[in-house]
Amino acid sequence: MTIAGPMATTALGWHLHGEKRRAQTLATLESSPFDRVRMAACATRCTLDELEERVAELAAIGVDAELVLLHPGDGIADLGAAVRYLAEVVPRLAPHANVWWSLAADPAAFPFLSEHDWARLADLVAEEDPGHHPLSITVEAGSPLLWRRAFTHGSVRAPSPRDAWMQTRDHHKPVLMDMCGYEGDSDDPWLSLTAEQVVSQAWDGAVRRRYLTHGESYADDDGLTWSEAGGTLAGAAVPRLALLREVIAGTPAEARYRDRDAPMLELPGQFYLEFCGEHRFPQREYEVPAGRYEVEVIDTWEMTVTPLGVQEGETVSVPLPGTVGQAVRLRRRP
């Protein structure tokens, strides 16, 4: 299974609110760069008919629904209850083509379930889903649960994309970062990142192939946040993530991460994308196979792509403005 370049956001309970807020959420998603939304299934707090209707509404605007199946407050008190719950919910939602599964966003909230139990539940979801939709569970980046056979990819929580990469670089499956912090102004450090931090982490994660799931925790007039309840987005990161999605969409699927002093995606002799991040490099040099390369500098915050012409030879020198958040893209030309 290939899970390349997803741009996801979190709006866990958007579907549990009234028609007005649900309509706001759908309109916001339709005009956003996001193609997937993480949402708690909460099938004990809404009917399966209603849940199916919301998933179908997302499909109509081209957005996948990543359903967090086991969520605190659903009344699941033991393994037997979890098995019965999943055996009802999964077959009902599995026919929808735009469904992903997340077994749980916080396994620690279910202390009565062991690692063996989680593996059994993952096998159950896989068995009940003939469409073989993507399946994960959100854990710390070093958790052995990531290696369980039924999971199609890893979903991790880590302080930074570098931490996630360091702990999963030998992983044999794709790895996504479902929690690296949200843009917001909460007292919780995980929910109070600046927009600049979110954009930097998203670029860093994308270049490392550890794609970051967006979140936003600014309270609106109703005292609710986007990642709790949907509605509208207020942060400054989203338009800048749209540029990242556009850049990643133009990146060859065969490009691979190269670990050097700044993270880089490369397809040797064809394509290079380096994110300089916090470094204020005055220039960068790249040793490449002989050829002609189109050079561009991308300011990830100002959302500009500056062409610097075509260079020919085995060394490409790129002047930079000496500010943070710069990226360099080289593409081979005839």
31-45, 159-173, 226-240 — which is least confidently predicted?
159-173
Residues 6+ apart with CB under 8 A from 103: 69, 70, 118, 121, 122, 125, 135, 136, 137
Q: Which residue has the tokens 């109703």?
A: 222
Asked whether residue 251 carries a pLDDT value surpassing 80, the answer given is: yes
pLDDT of 319 > 50? The answer is yes
Does position 4 have pLDDT exceeding 80, yes or no?
A: no
The more confidently predicted of residues 285 and 179 is: 285
Q: How far apart are CA 83 and CA 80, in angstroms?
A: 5
CA distances to 26, 129, 240, 250, 286 from 289, rounded to whole Å, are 47, 46, 32, 21, 10
Of 122, 74, 88, 116, residue with least CA distance to 102: 122
Whether the per-residue pLDDT at 334 is higher than 70: the answer is yes
Q: What is the pLDDT of residue 169?
A: 86
Tokens of 77: 């008190």
SS3 304: strand
Q: At 170, is the pLDDT very low, low, confident or very high (cuts 50, 70, 90)? A: confident
What is the phi/psi pair of residue 22, to 5°?
Answer: -60, -40
Q: For residues 124 and 83, is the Cβ–Cβ distance under 8 A?
A: yes
Q: Which residue has the tokens 């670990």?
A: 259
Reading the block at residue 113, the tokens are 């379930």
Given this model, what pLDDT does residue 296 score?
98
Mean pLDDT of 87-112: 97
Measure the CA angle with vertex 222, ends 220 and 227; round to 5°. 55
pLDDT greater than 60 at residue 2: no
pLDDT at 275 over 70: yes
Domains of the chain (ranges, CATH numbers) = 8-249 (3.20.20.80), 256-333 (2.60.40.3950)
Classify residue 209 as left (phi > 0), alpha (psi -120 to 50) or beta. left
> Residue 171's pLDDT is what?
78
Token output for 238: 């989203």
Is the pLDDT reported for residue 1 higher than 70? no
Per-residue pLDDT of 12-60, as tens digits, reads 999 999 999 999 999 999 999 999 999 999 988 999 999 999 999 999 9
Q: E strands along the chain, which residues?
A: 8-10, 36-40, 64-70, 99-104, 135-136, 138-140, 154-157, 175-179, 256-258, 264-267, 271-275, 283-299, 304-319, 326-333
Q: Please indicate whether residue 251 or residue 73 has the higher confidence score (pLDDT).
A: 251
pLDDT at residue 5 tops 70: no
Give the mean pLDDT of 109-133: 96
What predicted TM-score, i.e. pTM, was given to this entire model? 0.95
For residue 130, pLDDT over 90 is answered with: yes
What angle, 0 to 180 degrees and rounded to 10, lies between the N-to-C axes of helices 195-207 and 237-249?
Answer: 10
Torsion sign, CA atoms 111, 66, 170, 117: positive
On the 0-12 / 13-18 / 19+ scale of CB atoms within 10 A, 20 is exposed
Render pLDDT for 191-232 as a digit per residue (tens, 0 to 9): 999 999 999 999 999 999 999 999 999 999 999 999 999 999
207 CB burial (10 A radius; 0-12, 13-18, 19+): buried
- Written as one string, the DSSP assignment of 190-256 is GG-B-HHHHHHHHHHHHHTT-PBPB-B----TTS--HHHH-S----SHHHHHHHHHHHHHTS-TT-E
Q: Which two tokens stand for residue 123?
A: 């096998």
The whole-number average pLDDT for the span 162-169 is: 91
